Chain A
Amino acid sequence: MIQSYLTVSILLFCIGIVGVISRRNVFTVFMSIELMLNAANLAFVTFARLHQTMDGHVLALIVMAVAAAEAGLALAVVILLHKHKGQLDTNVFSLLKG
């Protein structure tokens, strides 16, 4: 039972990595990062069930708060970049390139 839940977690995390490294739409990349956070949450809750302690639940709550903070900041940056460049391609956002 624990193994199957962890397998789901691994699958979702790997799909998230594939989305981050192979897509160029900035929204899809952002939501893939959220998907990886969710996979980590599932692993936390699964281990909490395995060890019968609720620290995993608290950690999942904290991860959700971090995801909310990340969503607020990242979408503000996306709006700003869309205003400047008028595109959503991650290859265009190369302001820091030397």
Chain B
Amino acid sequence: MLTDGLFILFTVFAVTGAAGLVLFKHPMNGAMSFLVTLISLAGLYALLSAKLIFAIQLMVYAGAIMSFIIFVIMFLNIQEEDLPIEEGRFKYLIGGVIIVAPIGLFLSRVIKSFPGADAIITVEGFGEIKEVGLLLFREWLLRFEIVSILLLVSLVGAVVLAGTRRIAK
């Protein structure tokens, strides 16, 4: 009963936040609205008994990545007149919904074929740090290392792109 209520609450918050991200004109409002979505997604992960992902979603996504995005938005000091003029915004939004709706209907028809898992009780230690860590460092070790190389490449790329300071002549 409690999980159903929490699921509905988190779903409403997640979808409202995502809609706000698409509808708000200023990116700062959109970022705040997206933050609501991320935190309610963390709640959904907790309801799915993914304890490690719940913590990492809150710390890394809602904490680090979103504060980075908000930091850059504030760094550029965006005023109302800097924003692109989007007069036909709602027209484009309605067009986008019309284009995307068949895909969504198709996918929702696909998921009807999956079995429900109401009766499944999670095994001992499902989604905890130790179990996920064992899996990560045993079977997914190579991909974990590849991700570290990806992060290094993106770090170097960001420094090369944004960090060059041209000497004034």
* Chain B 132-169 per-residue mask, 1 if CB under 8 angstroms from chain A, else 0: 10011001100110010011011101100110000000
A to B contact number (C-beta, < 8 Å): 229
Q: Which residues from chain B sit less than 8 Å from chain A, CB to CB?
A: 7, 11, 14-15, 18-19, 21-22, 24-25, 27, 30-31, 34, 37-38, 41, 44-45, 48-50, 52-53, 56-57, 60-61, 64-65, 68-69, 72-73, 75-76, 78, 82-84, 86, 89, 92-93, 95-97, 99-101, 103-104, 107-108, 111-112, 114-118, 120, 122-123, 126-127, 131-132, 135-136, 139-140, 143-144, 147, 150-151, 153-155, 157-158, 161-162
Q: Which residues from chain A sit less than 8 Å from chain B, CB to CB?
A: 1-8, 10-12, 14-19, 21-25, 27-28, 30-32, 34-35, 38, 41-42, 45-46, 48-50, 52, 54-55, 57-58, 60-62, 64-73, 75-80, 82, 86-92
B95 touches A22 (CB 8 A): yes
B18 touches A12 (CB 8 A): yes
A38 touches B72 (CB 8 A): no
B83 touches A55 (CB 8 A): no
Interface of B is mostly: helix
- Cα distance A67–B151 when bound, in Å? 10
- Cα distance A75–B151 when bound, in Å? 14
B147 touches A62 (CB 8 A): yes
- Cα distance A52–B120 when bound, in Å? 9
A31 touches B65 (CB 8 A): no
